Structure 1
Amino acid sequence: GYYELVVDYIGINFSNPEMVTYQTQLEGYNKNWSALTSTRRVVYDRVGYGNYSFKIKAFNADDIGSEIKSAFELRINKPVYLAIWFYAAILIMLSLLVYIIIRLRERKQIKFQIYLQDKLDERTHEVIMQKEKIEIINKDITDSINYAQNIQASILPPVSKLQGKFTGAFVFFQPKDIVSGDFYWFGEGENDTFIIACADATGHGVPGAFMSMIGTTLIKDIYSRVSVDTPSKILSHLDREIMTVLSQNLEAGGSNDGMDIRIAEINLKSHKISTASAMRPMIIYHEGEAIYVTGNRISIGGQYESIEKTFDTENYRLNKGDKFYMFTDGYADQFGGPHGKKFKTGNIKNLLQDIHDKPMDEQYNHIKNTFELWKGDMGQVDDVLFMGIEI
């Protein structure tokens, strides 16, 4: 933007040319004339763009000066980069560059979005295919479990058979899943006896159903033997055979599966009841008074024990109209109520105290409705089996 201007000049004096002095002025650069000098060159630094007029005066030895002469006019054009059109061009170029960058970024973003969408469509297709496969597998499994439910239901004896032998009876049976680990069994024995079993096998769902089928089959087989004539003997045989079937011994180190069970044998003529238990209680109402029967605190099967388990038979003489109740832990362990807590056995006692004198069908409805009301919106935590019999 700036230039150096060098001007050489000479004044003509034939008599004494060495005594000629000069004064110069560059209008547009400085306002004043320079001092007198004999130098025939003047240098102007940092001369910018604009219009200039170089003037000079010459003086002889007698200091007589010449007329002021305008030696030359000078015009320095403005640099290109300071021109308005240059700024406009730069602005246009910058705008064009920004536009190109934006377009390139948009195109890149569109390509990336298309790539993501293709990947998403691909993954979605895979998920849909997997979902369809899972649905087919789930349907097959569900159909198999539903068929297993039919098999389990066919193994369980009809409640009408129980109701036909007693003044009244009910069975509230509600699996957590389609099939159940809880099961019941009853059948007629010799000498006017009738046996009832209320059991809770390990687990629920399909594993529990397998255990319940094993338990039902073994109980029927054991009760048919002449030598097994008391509930305690049935439990002892059942314990040994469960451990044999499931290889629960020291050598094999088999599973810990087993069951809790209450067995009651009733003489239909004398109304004597003999009962033995592995972990399951019974509540008897004799002449309006409640009797809570705990039983033995050991389970059937499970971990191997070197000492043989002992189960005790307890006998009670009942009268016509007396009632007894057997149940698994699913009812008492159900969470719900106003505070989301377990129902517990204490509330079962209170419930039976309120309804034991009602007809058995009303008792069934009350027990079922109470359970559903207590459970509310909470999920069922276990299989539920609750049996009531009136002598």
Structure 2
Amino acid sequence: IFKQNDEITKSITYARRIQSAVMPSHELLGSIIGKYFLLFRPRDIVSGDFYWMSERDGIVLVAASDCTGHGVPGAFMSMMGVSFLNDIVNVVGIIRPDLILDELRQKIKANFRQTHGETEARDGMDIAICAFNFREKKLQFAGAYNPMYLVRKGQLTEYKGDKMPVGAHLKEVKFSLHEIDLERGDNIYIFSDGYVDQFGGDEGKKFMAKPFKDLLMSVYGKSMPEQQQVLEDTLDKWQAALDQVDDILVIGICID
């Protein structure tokens, strides 16, 4: 059994290398986005959370996604998500976030042969996707469950995602688009629910959204690496000896 476990662990570790290879490197993110941080902590060796980036026609697209499940099933789903997004943006040429999510939903449904029936497994993902025009300081955002936070001069504005996943859903409508004029010094955050859902503290409760928002407002004005350090330290202190419950992903971007 030990030998078998070792073999499985080795192959999953190799799968992590493949998963890492399909996600953008720090060098690439830095060269295209500029000031940013990426806090990424898979719960297992491989992750159901993924981040993605593409650049097309002067628009930089960045996504943070949380797939059904974690570990190996979540990782398979995340690889499909990356592949579909690359196809939608780089081949089909769609760059508007809401239309990307509409198309992504069709692909996931077609590949999992999903219908509106309630009995089937709900394969899919929650995702936040931003399209930046850094030159004109404009941002478009669309989300499936996942929101986007904008911190401007220390105040936080939440742009909510639609209350449906990317996948089959009973009340299926088109995704909505938020358009935002950016200012220098704005901080943009997209993330999965792993950070806020982490158990910890004196009473072993979830971290929750309100303290997370307060934390992001409190780090305003710090550099992106400093912000990441505060988020990591806060999480470590909160979690202490408890197990990590989910994959954790937070992306921060500072508008220059």
Tell me the TM-score range normalised by the shorter chain.
Answer: over 0.9
Q: Does 1:370 align with 2:234?
A: yes
- Structure 1's unaligned 5+ residue stretches are 1-133
Superposed, 1:347-358 pairs within 5 Å as: 347-358=211-222
Q: Which residue of 1 is the match for residue 174 of structure 2?
A: 310
Decide whether the 8 Å contact of 2:153 with 2:220 is kept in 1: no
Structure 1 distance, partners of 2:131, 2:145, is 17
Q: Secondary structure at the match of 2:226?
A: helix
Q: Secondary structure at the match of 1:329?
A: coil
Aligned pairs, how many? Answer: 254
Decide whether the 8 Å contact of 1:145 with 1:178 is kept in 2: yes
Q: Which residue of 2 is the match for residue 340 of structure 1?
A: 204
Q: Does 1:200 align with 2:66?
A: yes
Q: Which residue of 2 is the match for residue 222 of structure 1?
A: 88
Structure 1 distance, partners of 2:56, 2:151, is 24
Structure 1 distance, partners of 2:60, 2:153, is 22
Q: Structure 1 residues 250, 272: CA separation in 2 closer, same or farther (over 3 Å shift)?
A: closer
Q: Secondary structure at the match of 1:330?
A: coil
Structure 2 distance, partners of 1:146, 1:200, is 20
How far 1:250 moved relative to its partner? 6.1
Give the residue type in structure 2 aligned to 1:173: F
Structure 2 distance, partners of 1:286, 1:225, is 35
How far 1:310 moved relative to its partner? 1.4
Superposed, 1:58-77 pairs within 5 Å as: none
- Structure 2's unaligned 5+ residue stretches are none
Q: Does 1:135 align with 2:37?
A: no
Q: Structure 1 residues 250, 328: CA separation in 2 closer, same or farther (over 3 Å shift)?
A: closer
Q: Secondary structure at the match of 1:235?
A: helix
Give the residue type in structure 2 aligned to 1:386: V
> Which of 161, 164, 178 in structure 1 is aligned with 2:45?
178
Structure 2 distance, partners of 1:376, 1:213, is 31
Task: Calculate the aligned-residue CA RMSD, in Å.
Answer: 1.6
How far 1:227 moved relative to its partner? 5.5
Structure 1 distance, partners of 2:150, 2:91, is 28
Q: Which residue of 2 is the match for residue 266 of structure 1?
A: 132
Structure 1 distance, partners of 2:21, 2:91, is 23
> Which of 163, 179, 182 in structure 2 is aligned with 1:297?
163
State the TM-score, normalizing by the size of structure 2.
0.95
How far 1:320 moved relative to its partner? 2.2
Decide whether the 8 Å contact of 1:288 with 1:322 is kept in 2: no
Decide whether the 8 Å contact of 1:199 with 1:259 is kept in 2: yes
How far 1:289 moved relative to its partner? 2.8
State the TM-score, normalizing by the size of structure 1.
0.63
How far 1:287 moved relative to its partner? 3.9
Superposed, 1:6-155 pairs within 5 Å as: 134-155=1-22
Q: Does 1:158 align with 2:22?
A: no
